Amino acid sequence: MNTFTIEELKENAHIHFIGIGGISMSGLAHIAISHGYKVTGSDREKTEITDKLEKEGAVIYEGHDGKNISGADLVVHTAAVKADNPEMAEAAKQGIRLIDRAEFLGAIMKHYRHAVGVAGTHGKTTTTSMLAHALIYADTDPTISVGGVLDLISGNIRCGSSDLFVTEACEYTNSFLKFYPTIALITNIEEDHLDFFTGIEMIRDSFRKFAELTRGVGHVVAYGEDENIKIALNGSDLNIITYGMSSDNDYYAQNISYHAGYPTFDVYKSGNMICSVSLKVPGEHNILNTLASIAVCELLGVDTKTAAKGIETFTGTHRRFEKKGMINGAVVIDDYAHHPTEIKATLKAAGAFEHNRIRCVFQPHTYSRTRTLWNEFVEAFDDADELIITHIYAAREVYDGVTDPDKLAAEIAEKRGVNVRYIDNFSEIAEYYKNTAESGDIIITMGAGDVTNIGPMIVG
């Protein structure tokens, strides 16, 4: 079947979203509503996200049933939804146009003169959020789709009226190859999603194809010190702009200092200082995210000093080094880090703050990621003074019979000498911190699953 285009839809068409409660799907549903389409959707249960959509006019069904798609002109589904889903099966039976989330998002992107796709193994949500702050501060009135909750836009989506669209671009199942970026931003390339990719060679090839989507229409903005990015883009004829910490890049940082844990630095381009930035988010990785954002903003015609001022208003998205509260003088932080590189970056950023101990509770995300990156996870927690490993958040997977989090904890203790234990129960973890938290401790709940629930249990 031909690639879907928005032109296929009649005015006031009925679009049904399977899995509408997801962060990305809900954003697309919001865009569809703003464009005058009738929207229905289903998910396993209703949430604050679906409640918000209902207030905007969507009809939400709890649970999946073939009857839910009655009258639909188009059915959009997440990558996690299988062909045996009753709504998928009914759409196929009725011959209703059936596409996945990425194809629908790509069709939307195609209608914007400037479409920025923010890709990379790490940093997509934060960098997209920084861009949102910069572009809104510069009065460009962009449409923004973020993979997290950003207070500036009161959620994960903003529908602007200009010809500028910014979205995260996820590599999983090659979703981002269905996009139409005029600027492809690549923050890094590492092994991940190895339940789909066969290894780093396949991942690099996927990112190269994503970059090639800009051929003849725009630019690639890439972290110039990432070896996998260098390999992926080697020999290409694309318009590539690089950023990094060294002056070998087009954009780079100089005169870096830290104040109360947060970095201040000057941004240089081709030997000339173009702006200064004082961040309200920690870590060297956020210096890099800033450089990427400023490079993109300049391509879009935004003054770099104005972009910097906008970025300085960014205090983080939910679940990205998010302060949840205090207990006994200890600060409780929640972070989405679920890949070894992200874990290292988060713990390093925490170390820049004055502290007594860095105490981390980590929930591995999916059996496949834990299994395939096992050795990297073992080495990821060296900067933690204390570590608790809890049960694996399975997400779309089932237990594989071999990947056990208690064994991960034991190996970290044996090989790295980290003070680590395995505790399965969240209430027990929360009580432990309540009883042992001391002034100067930084307690970090870390992972992409429901470990985020522990923070409120500690401080509540």
**Angle value at C-alpha 161, between 155 and 167, nearest 5 degrees:** 50
Query: Out of 168, 191, 312, 342, which one is annotated catalytic?
Result: 168
- What is the C-alpha radius of gyration for the chain, rounded to an integer number of angstroms? 22
Sequential DSSP letters for 268-323 = EETTEEEEEEE-SS-SHHHHHHHHHHHHHHHHTT--HHHHHHHHTT----TTSSEE
Residues of the chain where predicted confidence (pLDDT) is lower than 50? none
Respond yes or no: is residue 322 known to be catalytic: no
Query: Out of 125, 126, 182, 390, which one is annotated catalytic?
Result: 125
Q: Give the pLDDT score at 260.
A: 86
Q: Mutual orientation of helices 48-55 and 23-34 as an angle, nearest 10°?
A: 0
DSSP code, position 4: P
Q: Considering the domain 112-311 in this protein, what is its CATH number? A: 3.40.1190.10
Which tokens sit at 91?
Answer: 């759409």
Q: Give the pLDDT score at 346.
A: 96
Query: Out of 50, 87, 121, 124, which one is annotated catalytic?
Result: 124
Q: Give the pLDDT score at 1.
A: 61
Domain 6-103 in CATH 3.90.1150.10? The answer is no
Looking at the DSSP bridge assignments, the partners of residue 285 are none
Q: In this structure, are residues 274 and 268 in contact, taking their beta carbons and an 8 Å threshold?
A: yes
Q: In this structure, are residues 169 and 24 in contact, taking their beta carbons and an 8 Å threshold?
A: no
Q: Domain-by-domain residue ranges, the chain?
A: 6-103, 112-311, 322-459
Q: Considering the domain 322-459 in this protein, what is its CATH number? A: 3.90.190.20
Respond yes or no: is residue 125 known to be catalytic: yes
Q: In this structure, are residues 397 and 424 in contact, taking their beta carbons and an 8 Å threshold?
A: no
Sequential DSSP letters for 340-407 = HHHHHHHHHHHHTS--S-EEEEE--B-HHHHHHTHHHHHTTTTT-SEEEE---B-TT----SS--HHH
Q: Give the pLDDT score at 140.
A: 98
Tell me which long-range contacts 28-31 makes (C-beta under 8 A, separation of at least 24). 28/76, 28/101, 28/104, 28/105, 28/108, 28/145, 29/53, 29/58, 30/56, 30/155, 30/157, 30/159, 31/108, 31/143, 31/145, 31/157, 31/159
Which tokens sit at 284?
Answer: 């060297």
Alpha-carbon gap, residue 324 to 317, rounded angstroms? 12
Nearest to 287 by CA among 310, 309, 311: 311
Nearest to 412 by CA among 449, 453, 384, 372: 384
Respond yes or no: is residue 366 known to be catalytic: no
Instruction: Count other C-beta atoms under 10 Å from residue 257's C-beta.
Output: 9
Q: In this structure, are residues 82 and 88 in contact, taking their beta carbons and an 8 Å threshold?
A: yes
Alpha-carbon gap, residue 405 to 389, rounded angstroms? 7
Burial of 284 (0-12, 13-18, 19+ CB in 10 A): middle
Nearest to 210 by CA among 242, 244, 172: 172
Alpha-carbon gap, residue 316 to 294, rounded angstroms? 17
Residue with tokens 């933690």: 384
Pairing mode, strands 155-158 and 219-223: unpaired
